[in-house]
C-alpha cells in the first residue's frame, strides 16, 4: 500500500458511500485508477465490507453493557459451542477472548436494564459460565469504527 491507498482508506472510513468521482478527486486520481485501487483493496481483503452506521437511540438500543465472563472450561470444544451460541444473540455486537482474569468480554446493546436482564437469563440458560459480571456504560466519550492508518 502506498500513500494514495491510505488516503482512499481514510476517506472510505469516513464515508463508504462517497461516489467514485468524488473519492478520486479527494485523493488526486482520475476515476478509473481510483476504482481499480478500491477494487484491489477489496480483493486483497483490506476492505472487508462496507456498512451503514445506524443511530442507536432511534432504534432504541442506546445502552451499552460490557459483560465479563469467566469459565472453568478452557477447551476448544467449549469455546466453539459458546461462540456459536453467543452468535445467536443479536444484542451481542462485540465478542472477545481475553487475557488476564476475565476469559471473555461481550459488548451488548439493549434499550434498558430490563432488556439486559432478559438477555442475561437467555445467556446463562444456554452456557456453563463460572462467573459473569456486567458493567453499564454511563456515557460514550469516544466511539469510532475508523482504524488508525499510521502503522502501515
- In tens, the pLDDT along 52-72 reads 999 999 999 999 999 999 998
What are the extents of the domains in the chain? 3-43, 63-136
Residue 36: which of 65, 58, 4 has the closest Cα? 4
∠ at Cα 41 (38, 45), nearest 5°?
A: 140
pLDDT, position 138: 97
DSSP code for 61 = -
Q: Do domains 3-43 and 63-136 have the same CATH topology?
A: no
Cα–Cα distance, 107 to 91 (Å, whole number) = 8
pLDDT, position 66: 98
Question: Where is average pLDDT lowest: 63-67, 127-131, 132-136?
Answer: 127-131
pTM, full prediction: 0.89
SS3 for 64? strand
pLDDT, position 60: 98
DSSP-derived secondary structure for 81-147: HHHHHHHT-TTEEEEEE-SSS-SEEEEEEESSHHHHHHHHHHHHHHS--SEEEEEE-S--S----PP
Residue 127 has pLDDT above 80, yes or no: no
Q: How confident is the model at residue 117 (pLDDT cuts 50, 70, 90)?
A: very high
Residue 73 has pLDDT above 80, yes or no: yes
pLDDT, position 72: 87
CATH class of residue range 63-136? alpha beta
Average pLDDT of 115-125? 95
CATH class of residue range 3-43? mainly alpha
Amino acid at each position: 500500500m502506498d500513500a494514495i491507498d491510505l488516503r482512499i482508506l481514510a476517506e472510505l472510513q469516513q464515508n463508504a458511500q462517497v461516489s467514485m468521482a468524488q473519492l478520486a478527486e479527494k485523493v488526486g486520481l482520475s476515476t478509473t485508477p481510483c476504482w481499480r485501487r478500491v477494487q484491489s483493496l477489496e480483493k486483497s481483503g483490506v476492505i472487508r465490507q462496507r456498512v451503514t452506521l445506524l443511530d442507536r437511540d432511534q432504534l432504541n438500543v442506546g445502552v451499552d453493557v460490557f459483560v465479563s465472563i469467566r469459565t472453568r472450561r478452557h477447551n476448544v470444544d467449549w469455546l466453539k459451542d459458546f461462540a456459536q451460541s453467543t452468535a445467536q444473540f443479536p444484542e451481542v455486537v462485540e465478542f472477545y477472548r481475553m487475557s488476564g482474569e476475565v476469559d471473555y468480554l461481550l459488548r451488548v446493546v439493549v434499550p434498558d436494564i430490563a432488556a439486559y436482564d432478559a438477555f442475561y437469563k437467555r445467556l446463562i440458560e444456554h452456557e456453563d459460565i463460572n462467573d459473569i459480571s456486567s458493567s453499564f456504560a454511563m456515557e460514550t466519550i469516544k466511539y469510532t469504527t475508523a482504524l488508525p492508518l499510521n502503522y502501515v
